[in-house]
């Protein structure tokens, strides 16, 4: 990192937006709000520079034998953002349109989320450019294991812990754990989180982001004076994030009126039978064809008349093209980069109550921390203990962000960034800069 710093003025800002100007680029959002928070805090320019840039980026080329016998080389990456708060942690995603630029933004967001949630982790993010839908399980296993071997020197239970993300799951985490353990010559459960219970996973991991969304909405309704039974919720995403949130909110008495996935969705204005809809999704791998409501697309869901909108799927869903057509009262982002920079600025000047992704995603990072702690002490907490502690963390975090918003007269999004940058800079100042 020192070489990069030498090429930059000590007074310059971190340029996370150098690779283009597409509205969907996530670095545009994170760099804009990071710098706004740094301005409010009057952050030392040198700290601004250090905290705004990744500490390490690794690119690897992964030769993998396909089932056909052909050798294909897949590009892979790992971006490690910040280590001052503790070991880094972050997801691993498999996508054909993956970019290093996206991983930089996601790693910074992971650091900010850990800081706001008061979890002693730095942030990281990794990915492989591939299309899992076209690959067999055997090909994905070979690809995963090769990736682990290539990044072996920069990961570890006290260095960088991997977790599931887009198109990776418990099985992928099990392959990673096994590969790392084989090279360590001992079983190392804490190298990954989000793994199967049988291999040291934690209760509540699969539903943690959805559970965090539920906790945040409960806290927000208490703060704003609303009631779950009168709250209509539309959720974009039916998988680990959106599906878990839909089920938990339904069980808590919220009216879940619409759910979509990549293949389509369903809308019922008087409320869906969420368990039935999710059972259909589990069988068909899509909500397309589910007849207990009206068919709806992602684009239509975003502009529904509802009290709460939860984008829990992919980045770049709320843009300058549709932001003025949103009709929700509360926007609860459960996916990093769900709202573009242009759309975020529009929302800053609106009356909409926005719960930003760096707290909307917090349930996942908190649960990862819990799993890591349990692996290190060799003891598994019961499910109700995990969820009670998760609710305590999320509720306290929300209250802290609201307090900062009131102190600085800013939006909840700006307040979350201010709190995150404040915690990051505090830890960096306490540790100092080794030279």
Helices 383-408, 208-224: axis angle to 10 degrees equals 50
Average confidence (pLDDT) over 85-95? 95
Which class for 348: exposed (0-12), middle (13-18), buried (19 or more C-beta within 10 A)?
Answer: middle
Predicted pLDDT of residue 262: 83
Asked whether 81 and 111 are in contact (CB, 8 A), the reply is yes
Average pLDDT of 11-33?
66
Backbone angles phi, psi at 89, to 5 degrees: -150, 150
Question: What percent of the chain shows pLDDT beyond 90?
Answer: 86
Q: What is the pLDDT of residues 344-353, one digit of tens each?
A: 999 999 999 9
Q: What are the chain's domains? A: 55-196 (3.40.50.10860), 208-360 (3.40.50.720)
Mean pLDDT of 83-106: 94
What tokens appear for 132 in the block?
């899992």
Cβ atoms of 388 and 5 closer than 8 Å: no
Mean pLDDT of 67-87: 94
Q: What pLDDT score does 17 carry?
A: 44
Question: For residue 47, what are the contacts with CB-CB under 8 A and spacing of at least 6?
Answer: 425, 428, 429
Residue 124 bridge partners (DSSP): 80
For residue 11, the model assigns a pLDDT of 38
User: Residue 24's pLDDT is what?
Assistant: 67
Q: Is the dihedral of CA 170, 172, 177, 178 positive or negative?
A: positive
Does 173 score more than 90 pLDDT? yes
pLDDT at position 20 over 60: no
For β-strands 56-65 and 71-80, DSSP reports them as: antiparallel
Confidence of residue 275 (pLDDT cuts 50, 70, 90): very high
Mean pLDDT computed over every residue of the chain: 92
Packed helices 26-41 and 45-52: angle between N→C axes, nearest 10 degrees: 160
Q: Above 60 in pLDDT, residue 10?
A: no
Average pLDDT over residues 253-263: 93
| Start-to-end CA span in the chain (Å) | 11
Q: What is the pLDDT of residues 367-377, one digit of tens each?
A: 999 999 999 99
Sign, CA dihedral 403-409-411-415, equals: negative
Q: What is the mean pLDDT of residues 122-130?
A: 97
Give pLDDT, residue 313: 86
pLDDT at 7 over 70: no
């Amino acid at each position: 990192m020192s070489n990069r710093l030498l090429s930059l003025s000590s007074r310059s800002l971190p340029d996370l937006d150098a690779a283009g100007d597409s509205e969907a680029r996530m670095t545009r959002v994170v760099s804009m709000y990071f710098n706004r928070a740094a301005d409010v805090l009057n952050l030392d320019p040198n700290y601004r520079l250090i905290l705004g840039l990744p500490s390490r980026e690794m690119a690897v080329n992964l030769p993998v034998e396909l089932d056909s016998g052909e050798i294909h080389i897949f590009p892979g990456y790992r971006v490690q953002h910040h280590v001052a708060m503790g070991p880094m942690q972050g997801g691993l995603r498999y996508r054909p349109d993956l970019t290093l630029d996206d991983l930089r933004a996601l790693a910074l967001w992971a650091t900010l989320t850990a800081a706001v949630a008061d979890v002693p982790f730095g942030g990281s993010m990794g990915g492989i450019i591939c299309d899992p839908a076209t690959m067999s399980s055997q090909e994905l296993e070979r690809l995963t294991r090769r990736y682990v071997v290539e990044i072996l020197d920069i990961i570890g239970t006290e260095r960088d812990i991997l977790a599931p993300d887009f198109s990776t799951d418990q099985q992928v985490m099990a392959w990673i754990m096994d590969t790392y353990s084989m090279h360590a010559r001992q079983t190392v459960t804490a190298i990954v989180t989000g793994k199967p219970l049988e291999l040291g996973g934690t209760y509540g991991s699969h539903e943690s982001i959805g559970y965090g969304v539920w906790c945040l909405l409960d806290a927000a309704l208490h703060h704003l004076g609303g009631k779950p039974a009168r709250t209509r919720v539309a959720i974009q995403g039916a998988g680990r994030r959106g599906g878990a949130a839909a089920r938990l909110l339904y069980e808590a008495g919220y009216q879940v009126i619409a759910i979509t996935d990549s293949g389509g969705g369903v809308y019922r204005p008087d409320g869906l039978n969420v368990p039935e809809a999710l059972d259909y999704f589990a069988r068909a791998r899509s909500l397309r064809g589910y007849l207990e409501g009206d068919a709806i697309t992602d684009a239509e869901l975003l502009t529904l008349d509802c009290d709460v909108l939860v984008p829990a799927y992919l980045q770049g869903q709320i843009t300058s093209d549709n932001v003025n057509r949103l009709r929700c009262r509360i926007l609860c982002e459960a996916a990093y980069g769900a709202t573009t920079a242009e759309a975020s600025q529009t929302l800053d000047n609106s009356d909409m109550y926005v719960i930003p992704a760096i707290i909307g995603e917090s349930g996942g990072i908190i649960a990862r921390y819990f799993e890591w702690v349990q692996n290190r002490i060799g003891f598994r907490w019961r499910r109700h203990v995990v969820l009670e502690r998760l609710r305590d963390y999320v509720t306290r975090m929300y209250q802290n962000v609201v307090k900062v918003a009131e102190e600085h007269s800013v939006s909840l999004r700006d307040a979350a960034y201010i709190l995150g940058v404040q915690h990051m800079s505090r830890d960096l100042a306490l540790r100092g800069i080794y030279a």
